[in-house]
Chain A
Amino acid sequence: MAVAARDGKAAAVRAPAAGGALTRLGRLIREVARRPAGLFGLIVICLLLVVVVAAPLVAPYSPYAQDIVHRLQGPSLHHLFGTDELGRDLLSRVIFGARIALGVAIPAVLIAMFVGLLTGLISGYLGGGTDQVAIVGMDAIQAFPAVILALALLAVLGPSLRNVVIVIGVALAPGYARVVRAMTRAAKQNQYVEAELSLGASTTRIAVHHLLPNIAAPLFILIAMDIPSAIAIEAGLAFLGLGVPPPSPSWGALLADGFSYVLISPWAIIAASAALMLTTLGFAMLGETLRDVLDPKLSGTRRRRKKR
């Protein structure tokens, strides 16, 4: 079994050698699912995706339907997670909240990745003055804790779904830029870059064809690891009232509302935090497993391969 695992991993790492992209993806997923943490992450994320896509079908009520008579109830057969202070079904709100969580986190992380990829490639490849300017920019952004920066920007831009996405994207971009920059600088040292230059290849060609493919894998790991941060930031902003405006059922807003009534009924907080916790844990575990699978050099001292 151990041998099989090693073969599978080798194939996943040495990606280009093995068939099409789909086969490779399949092999990667199988390799991730073989590890308990990875399996957990995959299951959580798949469930989440199903819930997000099929929210109206899965949710028993509308997340906005109020039922003042049955407000602040505990879990029951009618309301599995109970109801909030306006009598809205908490399960439905948590389910629709997943849409907001992922709807913010995924585009935000993608924005961060594209911005970071571009800046990192340019500053890493060109070096010199461009690089220095880019570094100062990244430092300026990273000098603030992500949540504080997002808060400040949102205070200026005004809270809306779009602005939350942009702000989180900006706050996370320097992380990608740094990774890409460092890897570009390392990859640039390879002799094939000079060989390409001597054939007359343009900067763009070298960056896109010869540097990008060599730095792509760690980006996927970073994305998986950053989605929980983005979700947490979004929830934090919503908790502080600067996120996606009400009555949208953002998990952070559920927490904030539940917080006001915590002495009467803790169920809103329990439901929202459970959702938050499971989601972030799922992505974090997937990210870590991906890292272990894709780049064994990076993982810690933990034994990764289980003997059966």
Chain B
Amino acid sequence: MTADPQSGPLLSVRDLRTFFSDRQGVIARLLRRKSGEVRAVDGVSFDVVRGETLGLVGESGSGKSTLARTVMGLVPATGGSASLDGRELVGLRRREWRPLRRRIQMIFQDPASSLSPRFRVSFLLREPYVINKVPPDQQASVDELLDMVGLSAEQANKYPHELSGGQARRVSIARALALHPEVLFADEPTAGLDVSAAASILNLMRDLRDRLGLTYVLITHDLNVVGYFADRIAVMYVGQLVEIGLGDRILAHPRHPYTQALLACAPVPDPHLNEGHLDNVLGGEIPSPHDPPSGCRFHPRCKYADPRCTDEVPRLEDLGEGEMVACHHWRRLDLTPQPPVEATAAAAAVAQTTL
């Protein structure tokens, strides 16, 4: 993988699995009803090197958030491993996690509800230090934290419900960064924000990355967001990685049909370009990880599927240089001339002139 041979990957995830069992009552268990499993994360492996930004994309329900929460130790892993700078994270007890919390942090999806409602911003910003018993000389002041995320000092006296979505998001970021983590998981950092607030949050995150040398794992379903500043992109589908590679390459030349379909779904801000563009749109819904399709999990929605896809599970094929894809037919398929915006525009222009 792309691991820098000198330092090794900062975060390394291997065959990570998170299954949720269907909770059943005492009686159902006595009657030996088969209890189901939801394989939210099913054998995911990737590395993140220091200073890079990995974009983790996929539809809702593909297991992105669960993956992050598993790595963060908020959800117990069923198997596999995740290590931070060589330290295993899976199966750690809470006490063992403590010192690592300072190195790996996460910001959560919903800006409004990820701040405890009864406390002022100043309390919330001091909380990371109180919880982790950080000595005062290593603490940043509330003002410094607010300033870091571009908020004015007056915000310190506000309660979360008095903040706008963007402001709340900034407070969350400040809280996560208060401990000077090396790795930051960002779960849909732009969710619930309007376009301009989202853009300013992304700018802030990029500035902070450059300034503090942060390593991001950016979880999103929005390809415009990853395209904006992810170095590499990993595409998830029903709990598994289907493709991973350099951001520019994936956006320009997707290898997996699912990636291609995702790209085709990404909104293009010109209504005239949308015709034809939407031909590749994904039909149907993401299958339930409770009962994933046989063979390639994408086959029921894949227009290139053949009998082999129904029977045989495609391996995640390592193409070298950190490029991987899990598709039987990727070599055969010519997905490369992804309808780029210019091409579609040209085609539309041609169509118009011929009319």
**Which residues of A are interface residues toward B (Cβ below 8 A)?**
14, 16-17, 190-192, 194-202, 205, 209-210, 213-214
Contacts and interface: CB of A to CB of B under 8 A. Distances in A.
Contacts of B113: 190-192
A175 to B, nearest CB: 24
B72 A198 contact: yes
Nearest to A17: B159
B115 A197 contact: no
Contact of A16 (B110, B114, B127, B159): B159
Contacts of A194: 69, 74, 108, 114
B215 interface: no
A198 B105 contact: yes
Given A199-B105, A210-B116, 7 more contacts: A191-B113, A194-B69, A195-B114, A198-B176, A200-B101, A205-B131, A210-B118
Contacts, number: 66
11 contacts: A14-B161, A16-B118, A17-B162, A191-B113, A195-B106, A195-B116, A199-B105, A200-B97, A200-B98, A200-B128, A201-B131
Given A191-B108, A214-B117, A199 B172 contact: no
B74 A198 contact: yes
Given A200-B98, A201-B131, A195 B118 contact: no
A200 B132 contact: yes
Nearest to A193: B116
Contact of B172 (A14, A195, A201, A214): A195
A294 B118 CA distance: 16
B170 interface: no
Given A16-B118, A17-B162, A191 B109 contact: yes
**Residue picked from B119, B131, B179, most chain A C-beta under 10 Å:** B131
A interface: dominant SS: helix
B87 to A, nearest CB: 15
Interface string B115-138: 111110000000110011000000
Nearest to B133: A200
Interface string B189-227: 000000000000000000000000000000000000000
Contacts of B115: 192, 195
A21 to B, nearest CB: 13
A81 B34 CA distance: 71
Given A17-B162, A199-B131, A200-B97, A192 B74 contact: no
B175 interface: yes
Contact of B175 (A195, A202, A213, A214): A195
A161 B71 CA distance: 56
A295 B113 CA distance: 20
A17 B159 CA distance: 7
Contacts of B110: 191
Interface in B152-168: 159, 161-162
A280 to B, nearest CB: 33
Given A16-B159, A200-B131, A213 B118 contact: yes
Nearest to A132: B26
Given A17-B162, A191-B110, A197 B116 contact: no
A190 B162 CA distance: 18
A198 B162 contact: no
A199 B119 CA distance: 16
Contacts of B162: 17
Contacts of B131: 196, 199-202, 205
Contact of B108 (A14, A16, A195): A195
Q: Which of A191, A201, A205, A213 has the most CB of B within 10 A?
A: A191
Contacts of A14: 161
Given A16-B159, A191-B109, A194-B69, A199 B114 contact: no
Nearest to A206: B116
A17 B110 CA distance: 22
B128 A199 contact: yes
A199 B117 contact: no
Nearest to B105: A198
B23 to A, nearest CB: 9
Given A16-B159, A17-B159, A205-B131, A198 B116 contact: no
Interface string B168-187: 00001001100100000000
A197 B74 contact: yes
Nearest to B102: A200
A195 B117 CA distance: 12
A199 B159 contact: no
A200 B129 CA distance: 10
Contacts of B159: 16-17
Interface string B62-96: 00000001001010000000000000000000100
A191 B107 CA distance: 10
A199 B72 contact: no
A155 B129 CA distance: 54
A14 B105 CA distance: 31
Contacts of A214: 117-118
Nearest to A216: B118
B51 to A, nearest CB: 22
A213 B110 CA distance: 21
